[in-house]
Chains A and B, each alone.
Chain A
Amino acid sequence: MSNTSLMSGSNTPTKLNFKWVTPTLYIVFLLLPIYWLVNMSFKTNQEILSTFTLFPDNPTLHNYAVILTDPSWYNGYINSMIYVALNTVITLSVALPAAYAFSRYRFLGDKHLFFWLLTNRMAPPAVFALPFFQLYSSFGLIDTHIAVALAHCLFSVPLAVWILEGFMSGIPKEIDETAYIDGYSFPKFFVKIFMPLASSGIGVTAFFCFMFSWVELLLARTLTVTDAKPITATMTRTVSASGLDWGVLAAAGVLTIIPGALVIYFVRNYIAKGFALGRV
């Protein structure tokens, strides 16, 4: 019904309704690449290369089967998850006390230190690829998960401190004092009283650590060979003798998006505050 009025819109200007245009364009532009990726992942290479179809002619799960059965593929996911988890845990355990100190205490040079945390983020990761490679080689850490996790900490710790500091500064200092007056020791107060209050901030910070580490390619590829090779690196090395395996690559892409989408879903209500570094 509304369609008919739209079709004849040019003749009856009073009935014009363009409300649908913006959301439609928005969704088309945002989802087109993802749609294309998902579409491809269910097609055969033959179909991808030969015809133009908006929906697979012969939907197949073959591409996913390849990834989930071939160790060189699924190990990539496992490796990525291990170092992402390591990175998140290390970052949080370092950043929580640091952020608390920045939010609660005044000390010599605190503002400068706080700002300097960000200087590492001002250089592209490529700058650090060489020193990291050389450093880890000397310690025999190349091709281990911890190597990648530590390298990523250089970027995620400063960001985590900034985000957590913002969230923590929103918690009144009087709560700390009340806890001390009630008799809580500092560690007990921090774990039992303070961390539950900062939980949304901790969630958002974990998300940012995850996101950075999950999508970062350059350092992860430089520091690994085979044992800890991340999925993003695997995806860039799929040119085989038979040419590019389009379908499998698309399926790998879809599987790589899923964890990120899941994590975003859980922190969706706090994410804007996270992007504002907790300062809202």
Chain B
Amino acid sequence: MFELKNISKKVGDGYHIRDVSLRLEKGSLNVLLGPTLSGKTTLMRLMAGLDKPTEGDIIFNGESVLGVPVQKRNIAMVYQQFINYPAMTVYENIASPMRISGLSKSDIDKKVRSAAELMKLSEFLDRTPLNLSGGQQQRTALARALVKGAELVLLDEPLANLDYKLREELRVELPRLFAETGAVLVYATTEPHEALLLGGNTATLSEGRITQFGKSISVHNNPVDLSTAQIFSDPPMNMLNVKKSNGEIEFEGEKASLPQELVSLPDGNYKVGVRPHHIQLVKPSEDTLTVTAKIATTEITGSESFIHIEKSDYQWVALTHGVHRVDIGETVPVYLNPSDFFFFDGHDKLVASPARLQGENN
């Protein structure tokens, strides 16, 4: 088990990491999710022992590892940039950690070949990394991390610089490969859907703090606060300020009645978050909040359309399936179902999430 206890990292006057506590189980997959500059890499460097925390303690298998040099910790790390030893062949690159730990030649050979097999590198073992494609270079780095049999494996956006297809493939394989080694796997990413696809646990990071840690799907469905919800939504969650009184909510003069489960919320002002695919352009059968808004731009990806709409000071993105033909500048009604709403109070804490999800995960 790997544990961070109230870790802080101060650089100059500012905190890069502030009071982070995490308990990561053996054989678990843990995603660090956060935008750039949220402190993912800093946190990983602290976990690896490349940097020392200003405050706090790091416990590994019941012992503090703060004073243990990187070389003596049994860890592996893969960076977003393809980091290999350019002067060595792929074979030597993969073999390098085992050469240092003094394994026998035949053991090394066996392990290198099986890792190369898994990473589809068998035919490139005699080349040097710079003569490989980006994907092959990164697979070399991953193979090196894999053969080491490290107890803590840190992957810092390992797939970010790869092309789409390769990313999909590796994303499926990676957790499986490392799970077999029983290591604590930490995977940093900026992409919410990657966290969901990988499964496991997710810790959302915002400005050097962990805002929430738990099963990826439950963090996604029940974010504790607004910033977690924002981090775990791409495109960003659409925000609107509503006023609740009795069984109704009011937004910019439009009213809608609340579903039964939400009527008990105290009256007052709320910030409401709506996921992009919950903004509907076609009137649904249920009772909805209907807002007339102006179409700003549209982005069509082929199977989906992102429609950017404006309503007074609000800017929203609606994600719709199929290709919708809408004219820019046109004013259209959009339909928001209150049962899809995430309600946040004055302190940005979640007070209600879509009711049907409440029932599933809690």
Q: Which residue of A lies closest to B101 (CB)?
A: A183
In the docked arrangement, what's the CA distance between A107 and B249, Å?
60
Inter-chain contacts of A177 with B (CB < 8 A): 48, 50, 70, 77
Tell me if B37 counts as interface (CB < 8 A to partner A).
no
Q: Which residue of B lies closest to A198 (CB)?
A: B87
In the docked arrangement, what's the CA distance between A78 and B75, Å?
53
Tell me if A178 counts as interface (CB < 8 A to partner B).
yes
Selected contact of A175 from candidates B48, B85, B100, B148, CB within 8 Å = B85
- Whether A196 and B87, one on each chain, are in contact in the complex, defined by CB atoms closer than 8 angstroms, is yes
Q: Give B81-108 as 1s and 0s: 1 = Cβ < 8 Å from A's Cβ atoms.
A: 1011111000000001100110000000
Tell me if B2 counts as interface (CB < 8 A to partner A).
no
Chain A interface size, under 10 / 10 to 19 / 20 to 34 / 35 or more: 10 to 19
Given A180-B71, A181-B70, the answer on whether A174 and B81 have CB atoms closer than 8 Å is: yes
Q: Which residue of B lies closest to A183 (CB)?
A: B100
- Whether A197 and B86, one on each chain, are in contact in the complex, defined by CB atoms closer than 8 angstroms, is yes
A185-218 CB contacts (< 8 Å) to partner B: 185, 188, 193, 196-197, 199
Q: Min CB distance, B130 to chain A, in Å?
A: 11
Q: Min CB distance, A177 to chain B, in Å?
A: 5
Tell me if B124 counts as interface (CB < 8 A to partner A).
no
- Whether A197 and B77, one on each chain, are in contact in the complex, defined by CB atoms closer than 8 angstroms, is no
Inter-chain contacts of A182 with B (CB < 8 A): 96-97, 100, 144, 148
Inter-chain contacts of A178 with B (CB < 8 A): 77, 79, 83-85, 141
In the docked arrangement, what's the CA distance between A186 and B222, Å?
47
In the docked arrangement, what's the CA distance between A199 and B97, Å?
23
Tell me if A172 counts as interface (CB < 8 A to partner B).
yes
Which of A174, A179, A199 gathers the greatest number of chain B CB atoms within 10 Å?
Answer: A174
Q: Which residue of B lies closest to A174 (CB)?
A: B83
Inter-chain contacts of A181 with B (CB < 8 A): 48, 50, 70-71, 75-77
Tell me if A184 counts as interface (CB < 8 A to partner B).
yes
Inter-chain contacts of B148 with A (CB < 8 A): 182
Inter-chain contacts of A199 with B (CB < 8 A): 87
Chain B interface residues toward A at CB < 8 A: 48, 50, 69-71, 75-77, 79, 81, 83-87, 96-97, 100-101, 141, 144, 148
26 contacts between A and B (CB under 8 A): A172-B81, A174-B81, A174-B83, A177-B77, A178-B77, A178-B79, A178-B83, A178-B84, A178-B141, A179-B96, A180-B70, A180-B71, A181-B48, A181-B70, A181-B71, A181-B75, A181-B76, A182-B144, A182-B148, A183-B71, A183-B97, A183-B101, A184-B100, A185-B71, A188-B100, A196-B87
